[in-house]
Structure 1
Amino acid sequence: MKPYKACSCRDPETKRLLGKKCPDLSKKGHGGWYSRYEAPKSADGKRRQPRIGPFDTERECKQQLGKVLGTAANPKAHDERKTTLGQYLERRYTWRKSEAETGEGLKKSTLDAEREAIDLYLAPGLGHIKVIDLDDEHIRELYAAMRKINRPEEQEDRTEMLRRLKEARATRNGRRLHTRPISEGRIRRVHAVLNGALTDAWKLSKIRPDNPADGVWRSKGGKRKQGRAKPLLWTAERVEAWEKSGVIPAKVMVWTSDQCGAFLDFAEASKERLYPAFHLDAYYGPRRGELVGAEEQDLSLERKRLHVLQAQSDDELDDTKTEAGYRQVPLDDETVSVLKAWHKRKLRERFQWGEAYQDAGRVFCYEDGTALKVEYLSSRFRILIERYGNIRAKAAEGWPAERIARKFRTTEAAVEVALRAPLPPIRFHDLRHGAATMLLAAGVSIKFVSEILGHASVAFTMDVYAVVAEELAEDATRRIAAFIPRQNRLSAVGANTVPSGG
């Protein structure tokens, strides 16, 4: 039906609506544009001609009419015309939750992440808009507002969208949310929830003729994406060149088993509080966020298992990087012993802090029980490597071990470890690469290594680590529990071995 103009003015005598007969419709800005369309007959067979509008222009009215006619043949679409995005998201979440309860649907952690996306972003930002009226501009506006949260631009932006998001994010479950800017990765995850819901509204519920979220998120243009940087081993030749020039050969460097063992011996002899975290990462390679986000209930020392179910993202818990990230990591006896000692230390700290102790329920935490910041773990790692190098520098100047220990507030045992061999620098994340490399070099099956690391496929693990693992293979003679040589282990072996000449 052709669009028409009408208003809500009333006849001064009869008080009836004038509608299309108002004499002022020719005036600019008076009234609005409407249209009617033929909808499916009602259950009792009566004819239905719903009206849409008002719209500011005839063109806008025609565009909306075209959208409506795209679903007009579907009775359900007509009945759902007033359904808002917030209502549909809640309905869809209920369906998905019921499926999960039967054991056939999504995991609880995935549902929790979807619940968060709805509560913090989608419902406050777009929940009031009707599903049929939602377009790509609404979605882009939401993501633009999300990018301004906790940034300087937030103070200058007074839009209603940003106000609603800030209000929803003030607290969650009684806890104030983090004060850092929202990452692009989180926006992608929110987009995945919205895109899935609108796809269902289009293909399953038949509420609208398309998915306006499709194509909103595009990859960045410009430079051609480079391939993944593959690890490079710190061979003796590369270490020698680095000591002379200070140049690191590549972005991703991996320690040999001797170098990794030296670092762990140094951290342990230094009485570094977070040594157990470095030990676990060097042996099994969990991601930094997974290490910090690990909860005590997910660690079973009796069963020798660590369940990786979540990760720390900024200041709050989040999903693991990929679906393959949900995994069980088997632990060797030595690692279990280290973690048992760590558990006893935490109990002593809890007793010392008393009522001031704040138990975050994490495997690794600060002395007062609160959850670690992800960057703090990397910071402690860098400090240890720098201290190792500084100790060697002072020794080269002729300083005695006792003076060096006082200078760096460490133990003489740590100084002795540092003086044995140089320790080239790596990033904290490179401990993960080193764990993968040494496991492969020790002869552990590629499939098992892929599962321990939480990789999406065995092919990925082989592609990234095969070459450097072959380079290291000549030095690997032990599996999992013994693939890193340790000072205490070597001493114990030597004590129980009869010299060949005696």
Structure 2
Amino acid sequence: MKPFKACSCRDPETKKLLGKQCPNISKKGHGGWYARYEAPKSADGKRRQPRIGPFDTERECKAELARVLGTAAQPKAHDERKTTFGEYLERRYAWRRSEAETGEGLKKSTLDAEREAIDLYGKPGLGHIKVVDLTDEHFRELYAAMRKLNRPDEKDDRSEILRRLKEARATRDGRRLHSRPISEGRIRRVHAVLHGALTDAVKLSKIRPDNPTDGVWRSKGGKRKQGRAKPLLWTSERVEAWEKTGTVPAKVMVWTSEQTGAFLDFAEATEERLYPAFHLDAYYGPRRGELVGAEEKDLSLERKRLHILQAQSDDELDDTKTEAGYRQIPLDDESVRVLRAWHKQKLRERLQWGETYRDAGRVFCYEDGSALKAEYLSSRFRILLDRYANIRAKAAEGWPADRIARKFRTTEAAVAAALQRPLPPIRFHDLRHGAATMLLAAGVPIKFVSEILGHASVAFTMDVYAVVADEMAEDATRRIAAFIPRQNRLSAVGASTVPSGG
């Protein structure tokens, strides 16, 4: 197993390779360094002594020999020596998909996310490299290239790995599949897929003795991983600052109860078809996938209950996010009224569509009865917020209400609702955060709130929402104190301080 030097020169008479016997082998730059090692016997019991090389220096040869000897004890290591990372990723994905088809494996949404990580990053970036040749440097280079995608410094980097990633993410007419920079969270998720694949390569497939991705991950700039983003309340002070600068103070923002009411009043007045879905989300906070996945058979308006038993992931029904997601949501009288009106509207639509009506059996659906796509709810939410802001902008320019209503094809009642107060931006999912906050601020027991939201534990609900719920309660008391006139307060206080009998 000691490294040796050999070349490809041949004897001029016999034409046989000279190898180690070449008279010029001692000359600098002639030949290369090789080594042989004892590998596990073949299936028929024959001895195997594979050769590695050539290498430019003896040191390189020794380093490779030491690495190979670490895998030589495993019979499969040599057989899999030529397996590329891309081939192994595909093989592993096929295993995991077959497990999912039996009902024992991963959710479809998880498999889809893994498929994306493989197609957009794993295979384009490192798929051509043999599994046994992967090092931690390969993964550091991959993540560095991912951070440059869709950023200004991308144009200055001409590295091959970045070029392959860009090609993988390209689509028709040269437009990117994704046009936003890659977040640290997405890189973490891709890392989880690649790390898991190499863990299987070590423990299950026995291709290599170690996982080169262990200890690779570090947040951008060496920062520690940020904790869960906690919501902030859109207080009057923050709204005022936002109107002046356009800056949103945090990623997760929550409306006050008045702001939520203003949005729902506007959505109802503008005759938004999916207003009942927004109403239910603002009141009880079901997840978006749970809303579009809710079935008619699980809604009882007589008992005032909605059972959450599933969620729609992409275009298919799936389990809820966690086991705690299986739950009942109690409905108040106003929500029942809204949902009864919604049922009547769906009956009218069924009659209008006739035989072409496609009843998906969902609580919320398109006009033809087919199942909603989850993103459609978010899209309608963004449209409503944009319309709300545009109405206020036209009113600030002096437009009368009737002209604004015609401009945006809405009702004058919707215009009046939009002019009541400014409505700062939030995401559709933040309606869920708002529902949790308002329930806590209203004094609903935290265990009950946790169950309504489908959280795994009360501690999680308390950790995320307790602070902003207190802030909402304090904000309400300040506004109540400001609303109630107390003109005699100062004189009353002054009179109480004057000594009697003067």
Do both proteins adopt the same fold according to a TM-score greater than 0.5, normalized to the shorter chain? yes
- Residue 217 of structure 1 aligns to a residue whose secondary structure is coil
One-letter identity of the residue aligned with 1:266? F
One-letter identity of the residue aligned with 1:78? H
Q: What stretches of structure 2 of length at least 5 have no aligned partner?
A: 300-306, 355-363, 477-502
Q: Map 1:487-498 onto structure 2 (within 5 A).
A: none
| Residue-by-residue CA offset, 1:59-90 (whole Å, 9 max, x unaligned) | 22211111112232232323333332233323
One-letter identity of the residue aligned with 1:116? E
Q: Map 1:199-210 onto structure 2 (within 5 A).
A: 199-210=199-210
1:138 equivalent in structure 2: 138
Residues 153, 13 of structure 1: CA spacing in aligned structure 2 closer, same or farther, 3 A cutoff? farther
Deviates more, 1:86-95 or 1:176-185: 176-185
Checking the alignment, whether the CA contact within 8 Å between 1:309 and 1:326 is kept in structure 2 is no
Q: 1:266 and 1:62 mapped to 2: Cα distance?
A: 74
Query: How big is the shift at 1:34?
Result: 1.4
| Residue-by-residue CA offset, 1:170-213 (whole Å, 9 max, x unaligned) | 569xx984444444333222211110111122233332121101
Q: 2:140 and 2:112 mapped to 1: Cα distance?
A: 24
Query: How big is the shift at 1:383?
Result: 2.9
2:295 counterpart of 1:300: yes
2:54 counterpart of 1:54: yes
1:497 equivalent in structure 2: none
Q: 1:273 and 1:230 mapped to 2: Cα distance?
A: 31
Residues 406, 338 of structure 1: CA spacing in aligned structure 2 closer, same or farther, 3 A cutoff? same
2:94 equivalent in structure 1: 94
One-letter identity of the residue aligned with 2:114? E
2:14 counterpart of 1:14: yes
Q: 2:48 and 2:448 mapped to 1: Cα distance?
A: 63
Query: How big is the shift at 1:265?
Result: 0.6
Q: What stretches of structure 1 of length at least 5 have no aligned partner?
A: 312-316, 352-361, 477-502
Checking the alignment, whether the CA contact within 8 Å between 1:99 and 1:106 is kept in structure 2 is yes
Residues 349, 330 of structure 1: CA spacing in aligned structure 2 closer, same or farther, 3 A cutoff? farther
- Residue 54 of structure 1 aligns to a residue whose secondary structure is strand
Q: Map 1:330-369 onto structure 2 (within 5 A).
A: 333=336, 336=339
1:383 equivalent in structure 2: 386
- Residue 9 of structure 1 aligns to a residue whose secondary structure is coil
One-letter identity of the residue aligned with 1:71? T
Q: Map 1:88-167 onto structure 2 (within 5 A).
A: 88-151=88-151, 159-167=159-167
Identity over aligned pairs, percent: 69
Residues 262, 163 of structure 1: CA spacing in aligned structure 2 closer, same or farther, 3 A cutoff? closer
| Residue-by-residue CA offset, 1:24-79 (whole Å, 9 max, x unaligned) | 44555543321111223344444322211222332222111111122322323233
Residues 44, 97 of structure 1: CA spacing in aligned structure 2 closer, same or farther, 3 A cutoff? same
Query: How big is the shift at 1:379?
Result: 4.7
Q: Map 1:380-419 onto structure 2 (within 5 A).
A: 380=383, 382-387=385-390, 402=402, 410-418=410-418
Query: How big is the shift at 1:269?
Result: 1.4
2:490 equivalent in structure 1: none
Query: How big is the shift at 1:460?
Result: 1.9
Checking the alignment, whether the CA contact within 8 Å between 2:117 and 2:193 is kept in structure 1 is yes
Q: 2:256 and 2:212 mapped to 1: Cα distance?
A: 51
1:498 equivalent in structure 2: none
One-letter identity of the residue aligned with 1:386? A
Q: 1:42 and 1:334 mapped to 2: Cα distance?
A: 76
Checking the alignment, whether the CA contact within 8 Å between 2:219 and 2:225 is kept in structure 1 is no
Query: How big is the shift at 1:169?
Result: 4.2
Q: 1:219 and 1:280 mapped to 2: Cα distance?
A: 38
One-letter identity of the residue aligned with 2:60? E
Checking the alignment, whether the CA contact within 8 Å between 1:265 and 1:417 is kept in structure 2 is yes
- Residue 283 of structure 2 aligns to a residue whose secondary structure is helix
Query: How big is the shift at 1:131?
Result: 1.6
Checking the alignment, whether the CA contact within 8 Å between 2:5 and 2:32 is kept in structure 1 is yes
| Residue-by-residue CA offset, 1:409-430 (whole Å, 9 max, x unaligned) | 65321244356x5456352354
Q: 1:265 and 1:222 mapped to 2: Cα distance?
A: 47
Q: 1:213 and 1:422 mapped to 2: Cα distance?
A: 52
Q: 2:208 and 2:239 mapped to 1: Cα distance?
A: 64
Query: How big is the shift at 1:275?
Result: 4.6
Q: 2:294 and 2:283 mapped to 1: Cα distance?
A: 16
Q: 2:227 and 2:125 mapped to 1: Cα distance?
A: 37
One-letter identity of the residue aligned with 1:74? Q
Query: How big is the shift at 1:279?
Result: 3.5
Q: 2:195 and 2:341 mapped to 1: Cα distance?
A: 45
Residues 41, 246 of structure 1: CA spacing in aligned structure 2 closer, same or farther, 3 A cutoff? closer
| Residue-by-residue CA offset, 1:328-369 (whole Å, 9 max, x unaligned) | 686754564576688799999999xxxxxxxxxx9689xxx9
Q: 1:240 and 1:5 mapped to 2: Cα distance?
A: 74
Checking the alignment, whether the CA contact within 8 Å between 2:81 and 2:130 is kept in structure 1 is yes
Checking the alignment, whether the CA contact within 8 Å between 2:389 and 2:423 is kept in structure 1 is no
Deviates more, 1:66-75 or 1:373-382: 373-382
One-letter identity of the residue aligned with 2:35? S
Larger Rg: 2
TM-score for both structures, normalised by structure 1: 0.69
Q: 2:60 and 2:95 mapped to 1: Cα distance?
A: 35
Query: How big is the shift at 1:404?
Result: 6.5
Q: 2:213 and 2:238 mapped to 1: Cα distance?
A: 54
1:425 equivalent in structure 2: 424
Residues 8, 424 of structure 1: CA spacing in aligned structure 2 closer, same or farther, 3 A cutoff? same
Residues 271, 30 of structure 1: CA spacing in aligned structure 2 closer, same or farther, 3 A cutoff? farther
